[in-house]
Structure 1
Amino acid sequence: MAVSSVSNKFDYTTLNTDSGKSRSEVEEQQDRFLKMLVTQLQNQDPMNPMDNAQTTSQMAQINTVTGIEKLNKTMETMMSLYAGTQVMQSAQLIGKDVLAPGKDFHFDGKQADFSFDVPEGVKSAEVKITDAKGNVVAVLPYSAPQSGVKPVVWDGKLENGTTAPAGDYKVSVKAQDQNGKEIALNSYTWQSVKSVQFGSEGVVALMSNGNRVSFGSILEIQAGSKV
């Protein structure tokens, strides 16, 4: 099941705080404006009364500010409701494997699958796999890969034709653009979710390998274990 990207700017620490305020700044401004308006009307020169157009304009400005404040409050309420839903969704990730940004992956002795993100204008790419000691065990070249998230399957084969032993490995991806400039590409590996955190940074999934991944950057979720 794929998860679409979402914003994680909501401060989840505010979900259980009291948001009630006695009086808003806009309400205080309205009171001051009305008091000043009444005072001006009471003390105006009968021979030179206030300009109706100017008074109407001032009242329209106050109404506009009031409308914006009400809209902001509505959006805050909607964000709180959305955040609560996202909390419930993210809690269900615990104990599951997700395809998320990272370099570490586990090879089970049969095959390993991961992905990398290809931007526009990439001429060629090279996937390099290293073992726990940092030794390069495989290099997978890609010529003119299409832009987007590209899946990769490594069968564990080494240059000598043998199969790499089961264990933990790392993947890194480098590419060349149309001008021959070398760039590093983002990789996505299968990782096990240990727990989730909620705070000012949004929802963050903590992986069993120590990696921290934002909820919105997870590409895929799998119930069965791949790690």
Structure 2
Amino acid sequence: MATTNSVGNTAFDYSALNKKAETNTSAMAGQQETFLKLLVKQLQSQDPMNPMDNAQMTSQIAQINTVTGIEKLNVAMTNLLGAYGASQSIQAAALVGKQVMAPQSEFDFDPAKKLEAGITVPEDVSQMALVILDKDGKVVDQMSGTVKPGEFLPFEWDGTLADGTKAEAGKYYIVAKGLNSAGDEVKLAVNGWQQVKSVEFGKSGVQVNLASGEKVGFDTIQQVM
């Protein structure tokens, strides 16, 4: 099992990030200095009767400026991504102990209250069908209709069946599918309220450990209670 970090023990090494930026900056400065030395040497060694073409010199200077600009952009993006990652980790740590709407397919139904869920609808899906199955895989309820592409669709089920009776308490499964713009059937993510037990910070990003034992990505969290 991966090691989890508590909020108090989480530390972000900004100094390492700064050292990396300083190294890249020094490398860029070294490249510029080397280029200028070579250019000066080339000018000193040129044939006075056949001097270097101005367009050629301008082209070489433009090339080093382009390389330098790209290097600076890379450093800026590295710093930005590092800051974003640190911010995301802090936000994820604040979820510990809270209820979140996260990917889930199995639900415990209590006839005394409604079952709450949510469907993540992709940008290119406008038609959806949803079925509710009991623990034996039997369809106990279903519905379909038009949805707004890209929306998060809240869903409640009170357990009322087609014959008017109430579903029994127990485990139920929700499966949702939609049709995309190409007419292909796609599976839609079903979400339910779950408690966050801990979070993990690793190379693959921030992972959220739920009370159900499931582990989901921080970016899949839809709502926080």
TM, length-normalised to structure 1:
0.76
Q: Note closer, same or farther for the CA distance 1:181–1:47 as it changes in structure 2 (3 Å cut).
A: closer
* Code of the aligned partner of 2:168: A
Query: Which deviates more from structure 2 when the two are superposed, residues 89-98 or residues 173-182?
Result: 173-182
**Where in structure 2 are the equivalents of 1:107-186 lying within 5 Å?**
107-109=109-111, 110-119=113-122, 120=124, 122-123=126-127, 125-131=129-135, 134-136=136-138, 138-147=140-149, 148-158=151-161, 161-165=165-169, 167-175=170-178, 182-186=185-189
With over 3 angstroms needed to count, the CA separation of the structure-2 counterparts of 1:127 and 1:118, relative to structure 1, is farther
Counterpart position of 1:216? 219
User: Following the alignment from structure 1 to structure 2, what is the Cα–Cα distance between the partners of residues 108 and 162?
Assistant: 10
Inter-partner Cα distance in structure 1 for 2:28 and 2:93? 38
1:172-203, CA deviations, whole angstroms, 9 ceiling, x for partnerless residues? 12346799865432211222211111222221
Long gaps (5+) in structure 2: 1-11
- TM-score, scaled relative to structure 2: 0.76
Q: Offset at 1:101?
A: 2.0
94, 105, 108: which one pairs with 2:107?
A: 105
Q: 1:98 to 1:162 in 2, by over 3 A?
A: same
In the comparison of the two structures, how many residue pairs are matched? 206
**Could you tell me which residue of structure 2 aligns to residue 60 of structure 1?**
62
Aligned-residue identity in percent: 41
CA contact (8 A) 1:105 1:191 kept: no
Q: Match for 1:126: what amino acid?
A: L
Q: Could you tell me which residue of structure 1 aligns to residue 83 of structure 2? A: 81
Gaps of 5+ in 1: 1-14, 223-227
User: In the alignment, what sits opposite 2:8?
Assistant: none
TM-align CA RMSD: 2.9
Which residue is 1:12 aligned to?
none
State the match for 1:8 in structure 2.
none
The structure that is helix-richer by fraction is: 2
